[in-house]
Structure 1
Amino acid sequence: MKRSFIREILEAIDEKTISFAGGLPNEKLFPMEELKIATLKVIENPKTYQYTISNGIDELREQIALRYTKEGFATTKENILITTGSQQAMYILAKFFENKNITIEEPSYLGAMNIFRLNGLKMEGVKLENDGVDINKFEESFKNTKLTYLIPDFQNPSATTYSDTKREEVANIIKKYDGILIEDSPYSELFFDKKMPYISKSLTNNSFLLGSFSKTLVPSLRIGWIRANEDKIKSLMIIKESIDLHSCGLSQYILSEYLKDEQKYENHLQKIRDDYKEKAEFFSKSLKSIIPEFIHQTPKGGMFLYGGFKNKIDTFALVQECLKKKVVYVPGNQFYIDKVPNSEIRFNYTHSSFEQIEKGLKIIKSCL
């Protein structure tokens, strides 16, 4: 096992570094005043400091369940398990499916791949197309693994969003072989035009849907969750309790208090969408102007822009040169099972200013 390249990079950079590497939200958009009000209110109650139940406080699970139900995906608090970030959710599921084979997208989320390796899951990669996985290759793999991990909304790293057709085809294949879907969905609320339906919605008893407030609110609260049928949640709780007795109670109470005003949260989400859309379009336009040999699609949501060079360029070697000039990104090979260097790059556009975007891309161009 090796540490995450992204986490190592975050430790290696300083305030002078222009970072397009980590998936950091724009902290200027954090609803600090509203969270402060919520915090001051809950800390007056002694129960805030007490142990709580393993699956998460009732109020928060009900609030998350209600959001799904309003979208036509009937959910109760019994279908929700609160976790310490969605990374812990991933670990719990990897432990649940320990030593099995699993079908994943390629490229795929580095954090999930590391967890799968740690828990002995053998990964089979299926190439991503512009509208989701290659369906024929997916079925070929899934009929043997009967377990898959997918990020259908503004995928990390590729920013790919599954079409309605691909979502339906994936769901039908999972039903056909009576398999299981792990649907990772931390970016689904960060859409620029419209929100897509969850694949899990048509796989109520054959799916685990992961969510998080790290990308939509603030990361430091470390609150994520798993949505699944009640029996599966009970099984996962046994693993959860072997890791920690419960996720941070203080964070849960603060978050629950904040979410009581639904419109306030909706306004916050729209503010993020507007800001990120402007950043994504600016980043894409700047790339076309400064590094026209880098081929990519303008993102339709999420936090990342992904692409590759026309000519063969080792982007892992390139990032070492960029680091010397205080600019960093994540080379594409980190998101593949074999880690062989390639010409691809994942850029994060949400955390940098317009000035930093232009300056950083010009430095990368000079390093080419």
Structure 2
Amino acid sequence: MKRSFIREILEAIDEETISFAGGLPNSLLFPVDDLKLSANNILKKRDVWQYSISNGIKSLRKKIAKQYCKDGFETAPENILITTGSQQALYILARYFKNKSIVLEAPSYLGAINTFKLNDLKMKTAPLENDGIELKSFEKAFEKEELTYLIPDFQNPSTRTYSKTKRKEVAKIVKKYDGIIIEDSPYTELYFEEKNKSISSLVPNNSFHLGSFSKTLCPSLRIGWIRANEEFIHDLLVIKESIDLHSCGLSQHLLNEYLKDEKKYKTHLDILRKFYKEKVEFFCKQLDTYLPEFTYVKPKGGMFVYGEFKGVDSFELLAKCMEKKVVFVPGCEFYIKDKNPHEIRFNFTNSSLEDIIKGIKIIAEVLKS
């Protein structure tokens, strides 16, 4: 096993480094005053300092379930398991399906690849097209494995989003073989145009739907969740309890208090989407101006821009850019096999406008030299 390349990059950089590497939300948008108020309201209550129940405090699970219902996906609190971030959710599911085979998109999320590898899941891949996974390859692999891990909304790293047609077709394939889909959705609320219907809602008893507040609120709370049928949740609880008994009670109570005001969170999400949409427009404009040879498709949401420099080794480029204090992630880190050495993932959400211009100019200068 090796560590996450992205986490290693984050540890190697300093305050002078312009980072387009990690998937960091913009800290200027954290609703600190509102969270502080919520914290002050709950910290005087003695029960928030006590052990909690393993599946998460019920009032928080109710609020998450309510949002699913609003989206047309019937869900009860018993269908929700609170986890310590969605990364723990992935680990719990990897333990649950240990030693099985699983179908992934190519490319796919590095954190999932490493977690599946650690738990001896045999990974097969199907390529991504502009509107989602390539169906013939996917069905051929899924027919044998009957288990898949997909990121349909603003996929990490490719930023691609499944069309309504692809979502229905994937659901049909899952039903046809009575298989299981693990649908990872940390970016779903970060849409610039419209919110998409989840694939899981089309196959509620054959799915695990993963969510997180790390990208939409703040990562430090470490609150994620799994939505599944009650039988699955009961099985996952056994694994969860062997890891940490329950996720941080203080974080759960603070978040639960904050979410009591639904308008407050909705307003925060509206600000986030507007800010990120303007940010990606600016980022792409700089790419087009200073790096016209970089080919990409402008994302419709999420936190990344993904594309390639034809004929340029992205690892060599990264090494030279690191010397000049600019970092990004080579795309080959997101492949299991048939790695493309020319692809790159840029994070656009965390850097200032000044650093975006400066960082992209430095990459252009390195390319020229």
- TM-score range (shorter-chain normalised) is over 0.9
- After superposition, the C-alpha distances for 1:103-125 in whole angstroms (9 at most, x for unaligned) are 00011000000000000001111
Separation (CA, whole Å) in 2 of partners of 1:93 and 1:357: 37
2:18 maps to what in 1? 18
1:323 maps to what in 2? 322
Matched, 1:120 2:145: no
Separation (CA, whole Å) in 2 of partners of 1:62 and 1:331: 40
Deviation at 1:359, TM superposition (A): 0.7
What one-letter code is carried by the residue in structure 2 that aligns with 1:323? M
2:48 maps to what in 1? 48
What one-letter code is carried by the residue in structure 2 that aligns with 1:71? D
User: In the TM superposition, what are the counterparts of 1:169-248 in structure 2 within 5 Å?
Assistant: 169-248=169-248
8 Å CA contact 1:315, 1:341 repeated in 2:
no
- After superposition, the C-alpha distances for 1:58-112 in whole angstroms (9 at most, x for unaligned) are 1100000000001110101000000000000000000000011100001100000
TM-score where L is the length of structure 2: 0.99
Separation (CA, whole Å) in 2 of partners of 1:76 and 1:257: 20
8 Å CA contact 1:152, 1:161 repeated in 2:
yes
Separation (CA, whole Å) in 1 of partners of 2:170 and 2:75: 22
1:32 maps to what in 2? 32
Which consecutive unaligned segments of at least 5 residues does structure 2 have? none
8 Å CA contact 1:332, 1:343 repeated in 2:
yes
Separation (CA, whole Å) in 2 of partners of 1:332 and 1:208: 27
Separation (CA, whole Å) in 2 of partners of 1:228 and 1:90: 13
Separation (CA, whole Å) in 2 of partners of 1:67 and 1:253: 18
2:311 maps to what in 1? 312
Deviation at 1:285, TM superposition (A): 1.3
Report sequence identity in percent.
Answer: 63
- After superposition, the C-alpha distances for 1:166-207 in whole angstroms (9 at most, x for unaligned) are 000000000001000000000000000100000000111100
What one-letter code is carried by the residue in structure 2 that aligns with 1:330? V
1:105 maps to what in 2? 105
What one-letter code is carried by the residue in structure 2 that aligns with 1:329? F
- After superposition, the C-alpha distances for 1:305-359 in whole angstroms (9 at most, x for unaligned) are 10012x3211011101110000000000000003746100000000011111111
Q: Over the residues paired in the alignment, what is the CA RMSD in angstroms?
A: 0.7
SS in 1 for 2:190: coil
8 Å CA contact 1:148, 1:181 repeated in 2:
yes
SS in 1 for 2:148: strand
SS in 2 for 1:306: strand
Deviation at 1:367, TM superposition (A): 1.4
Count of equivalent residues: 367
Separation (CA, whole Å) in 2 of partners of 1:321 and 1:294: 17
Matched, 1:263 2:263: yes
Separation (CA, whole Å) in 1 of partners of 2:124 and 2:321: 32
1:157 maps to what in 2? 157
- After superposition, the C-alpha distances for 1:188-243 in whole angstroms (9 at most, x for unaligned) are 00000100000000111100000000000000000000000000000000000000
1:168 maps to what in 2? 168
8 Å CA contact 1:316, 1:341 repeated in 2:
no
What one-letter code is carried by the residue in structure 2 that aligns with 1:351? N
1:252 maps to what in 2? 252
SS in 2 for 1:345: strand
Deviates more, 1:15-24 or 1:358-367: 358-367
Closer, same or farther: CA 62–194 of 1 in aligned 2, 3 Å: same
User: In the TM superposition, what are the counterparts of 1:279-358 in structure 2 within 5 Å?
Assistant: 279-309=279-309, 311-338=310-337, 340=339, 342-358=341-357
Which consecutive unaligned segments of at least 5 residues does structure 1 have? none
Matched, 1:92 2:92: yes
2:365 maps to what in 1? 366
Separation (CA, whole Å) in 1 of partners of 2:261 and 2:338: 45
What one-letter code is carried by the residue in structure 2 that aligns with 1:328? V
Matched, 1:68 2:68: yes
Separation (CA, whole Å) in 2 of partners of 1:267 and 1:60: 19
Matched, 1:134 2:139: no
SS in 2 for 1:149: strand
8 Å CA contact 1:87, 1:111 repeated in 2:
yes
2:277 maps to what in 1? 277
What one-letter code is carried by the residue in structure 1 that aligns with 2:32? M
TM-score where L is the length of structure 1: 0.99
SS in 2 for 1:205: helix
Deviates more, 1:330-339 or 1:342-351: 330-339
What one-letter code is carried by the residue in structure 2 that aligns with 1:145? E
SS in 1 for 2:263: helix
8 Å CA contact 1:102, 1:146 repeated in 2:
yes
Deviates more, 1:335-344 or 1:124-133: 335-344
Separation (CA, whole Å) in 1 of partners of 2:60 and 2:340: 43
**Which runs of 4 or more aligned residues in structure 1 lie more than 2 Å from their structure 2 counterparts after TM superposition?**
338-341
Separation (CA, whole Å) in 2 of partners of 1:348 and 1:92: 27
